[in-house]
Amino acid sequence: MTYDNLAQRRRAQYTNEAVLSATPAQLVTLLYDRLLLDLHRAEAAQVASNWDGAREQLLHAQAIVGELSATLRIDAWDGGEGLLAIYNYASTSLITANVHRDVQATRDCIRILDPLRQAWRDAAAAMPATPAPVQQTTGGALGVA
Protein backbone atom coordinates (compact mmCIF):
# COMPACT_ATOMS: atom_id res chain seq x y z
CA MET A 1 0.00 0.00 0.00
CA THR A 2 1.41 3.38 -1.00
CA TYR A 3 1.54 6.41 1.23
CA ASP A 4 -1.13 8.14 -0.90
CA ASN A 5 -3.51 5.18 -0.58
CA LEU A 6 -2.98 5.04 3.16
CA ALA A 7 -3.58 8.79 3.46
CA GLN A 8 -6.80 8.51 1.42
CA ARG A 9 -8.07 5.65 3.58
CA ARG A 10 -7.34 7.59 6.77
CA ARG A 11 -9.03 10.70 5.39
CA ALA A 12 -12.09 8.62 4.41
CA GLN A 13 -12.21 7.01 7.86
CA TYR A 14 -11.93 10.43 9.54
CA THR A 15 -14.73 11.84 7.35
CA ASN A 16 -16.93 8.83 8.06
CA GLU A 17 -16.40 9.18 11.81
CA ALA A 18 -17.07 12.92 11.66
CA VAL A 19 -20.36 12.32 9.83
CA LEU A 20 -21.48 9.54 12.18
CA SER A 21 -20.82 11.63 15.29
CA ALA A 22 -22.22 14.92 13.95
CA THR A 23 -25.41 16.64 15.05
CA PRO A 24 -28.00 17.44 12.34
CA ALA A 25 -26.80 21.07 12.22
CA GLN A 26 -23.18 19.92 11.98
CA LEU A 27 -24.12 17.61 9.09
CA VAL A 28 -25.62 20.52 7.20
CA THR A 29 -22.50 22.56 7.98
CA LEU A 30 -20.31 19.77 6.60
CA LEU A 31 -22.40 19.73 3.43
CA TYR A 32 -22.07 23.49 3.04
CA ASP A 33 -18.32 23.32 3.65
CA ARG A 34 -17.92 20.71 0.94
CA LEU A 35 -20.28 22.61 -1.38
CA LEU A 36 -18.21 25.77 -1.12
CA LEU A 37 -14.98 23.79 -1.55
CA ASP A 38 -16.42 22.31 -4.77
CA LEU A 39 -17.49 25.75 -5.99
CA HIS A 40 -14.10 27.32 -5.35
CA ARG A 41 -12.38 24.40 -7.07
CA ALA A 42 -14.79 24.71 -10.01
CA GLU A 43 -14.14 28.43 -10.28
CA ALA A 44 -10.36 27.86 -10.32
CA ALA A 45 -10.75 25.14 -12.95
CA GLN A 46 -12.97 27.36 -15.10
CA VAL A 47 -10.48 30.23 -14.93
CA ALA A 48 -7.73 27.79 -15.99
CA SER A 49 -9.97 26.43 -18.81
CA ASN A 50 -9.86 22.99 -17.17
CA TRP A 51 -13.38 22.09 -18.24
CA ASP A 52 -13.23 18.45 -17.16
CA GLY A 53 -12.14 19.46 -13.67
CA ALA A 54 -14.78 22.19 -13.51
CA ARG A 55 -17.48 19.77 -14.65
CA GLU A 56 -16.55 17.25 -11.96
CA GLN A 57 -16.69 19.87 -9.21
CA LEU A 58 -19.91 21.42 -10.50
CA LEU A 59 -21.65 18.04 -10.71
CA HIS A 60 -20.67 17.26 -7.13
CA ALA A 61 -21.89 20.70 -6.05
CA GLN A 62 -25.21 19.97 -7.80
CA ALA A 63 -25.50 16.71 -5.88
CA ILE A 64 -25.02 18.55 -2.60
CA VAL A 65 -27.58 21.23 -3.47
CA GLY A 66 -29.94 18.41 -4.42
CA GLU A 67 -29.36 16.76 -1.03
CA LEU A 68 -29.95 20.06 0.79
CA SER A 69 -33.17 20.59 -1.20
CA ALA A 70 -34.42 17.04 -0.67
CA THR A 71 -33.93 17.15 3.10
CA LEU A 72 -35.35 20.65 3.58
CA ARG A 73 -38.60 20.67 5.55
CA ILE A 74 -40.25 23.78 4.15
CA ASP A 75 -43.25 23.38 6.46
CA ALA A 76 -41.07 23.48 9.59
CA TRP A 77 -40.46 27.24 9.52
CA ASP A 78 -41.50 30.42 7.72
CA GLY A 79 -38.26 30.75 5.73
CA GLY A 80 -38.41 27.25 4.25
CA GLU A 81 -39.91 28.25 0.92
CA GLY A 82 -37.40 31.07 0.53
CA LEU A 83 -34.51 28.72 1.21
CA LEU A 84 -35.91 26.23 -1.30
CA ALA A 85 -36.04 29.04 -3.88
CA ILE A 86 -32.36 29.76 -3.20
CA TYR A 87 -31.49 26.10 -3.66
CA ASN A 88 -33.48 26.00 -6.93
CA TYR A 89 -31.68 29.12 -8.16
CA ALA A 90 -28.31 27.62 -7.19
CA SER A 91 -29.13 24.38 -8.97
CA THR A 92 -30.07 26.23 -12.16
CA SER A 93 -26.94 28.38 -11.91
CA LEU A 94 -24.74 25.31 -11.48
CA ILE A 95 -26.22 23.77 -14.62
CA THR A 96 -25.62 27.05 -16.47
CA ALA A 97 -22.06 27.23 -15.15
CA ASN A 98 -21.40 23.72 -16.37
CA VAL A 99 -23.17 23.73 -19.74
CA HIS A 100 -22.11 27.23 -20.78
CA ARG A 101 -18.73 27.21 -19.02
CA ASP A 102 -19.89 30.33 -17.20
CA VAL A 103 -17.54 31.27 -14.38
CA GLN A 104 -19.83 34.14 -13.34
CA ALA A 105 -22.64 31.67 -12.62
CA THR A 106 -20.25 29.76 -10.37
CA ARG A 107 -19.29 32.98 -8.62
CA ASP A 108 -22.97 33.86 -8.15
CA CYS A 109 -23.48 30.54 -6.38
CA ILE A 110 -20.53 31.24 -4.10
CA ARG A 111 -21.91 34.71 -3.37
CA ILE A 112 -25.37 33.46 -2.37
CA LEU A 113 -24.37 30.22 -0.61
CA ASP A 114 -21.40 31.37 1.46
CA PRO A 115 -23.55 33.49 3.85
CA LEU A 116 -25.83 30.47 4.35
CA ARG A 117 -22.81 28.35 5.23
CA GLN A 118 -21.80 30.91 7.86
CA ALA A 119 -25.33 31.03 9.25
CA TRP A 120 -25.34 27.23 9.62
CA ARG A 121 -21.92 27.33 11.28
CA ASP A 122 -23.23 29.86 13.79
CA ALA A 123 -26.38 27.78 14.39
CA ALA A 124 -24.40 24.55 14.82
CA ALA A 125 -22.08 26.23 17.32
CA ALA A 126 -25.06 27.42 19.37
CA MET A 127 -26.79 24.01 19.53
CA PRO A 128 -26.20 21.19 22.01
CA ALA A 129 -24.10 18.29 20.71
CA THR A 130 -26.56 15.46 20.10
CA PRO A 131 -25.50 13.17 17.23
CA ALA A 132 -27.88 12.73 14.31
CA PRO A 133 -29.33 9.38 13.36
CA VAL A 134 -27.18 7.72 10.71
CA GLN A 135 -28.41 8.37 7.15
CA GLN A 136 -26.75 7.03 4.03
CA THR A 137 -27.51 9.95 1.72
CA THR A 138 -25.97 12.81 3.72
CA GLY A 139 -22.54 11.24 4.17
CA GLY A 140 -22.39 10.14 0.56
CA ALA A 141 -22.78 13.69 -0.70
CA LEU A 142 -19.70 14.78 1.20
CA GLY A 143 -17.31 12.63 -0.78
CA VAL A 144 -13.66 12.42 0.04
CA ALA A 145 -11.06 14.42 -1.79
Question: Is the CB of residue 113 less than 8 Å from the CB of residue 35?
Answer: yes
Section 88-93 average pLDDT: 98
What CATH number did the domain enclosing 26 receive? 1.20.120.340
pLDDT digits (tens, 9 = 90+) for 77-89: 899 999 999 999 9
Under the banding of pLDDT at 50, 70 and 90, the label for residue 75 is very high
The pLDDT value recorded for residue 144 is: 47
Q: Which pTM was predicted? A: 0.80
Task: Please name which of 104, 106, 92 lies closest in space to residue 54, comparing C-alpha atoms.
Answer: 106
Task: Please name which of 119, 103, 18, 24 lies closest in space to residue 57, comparing C-alpha atoms.
Answer: 103
Section 68-79 average pLDDT: 93
| Residue 62 pLDDT exceeds 80 | yes
Question: What range defines the domain where residue 45 resides?
Answer: 3-127+136-142
Give me the number of domains the chain comprises: 1
Angle at 124 between CA 118 and CA 127, to 5 degrees: 145
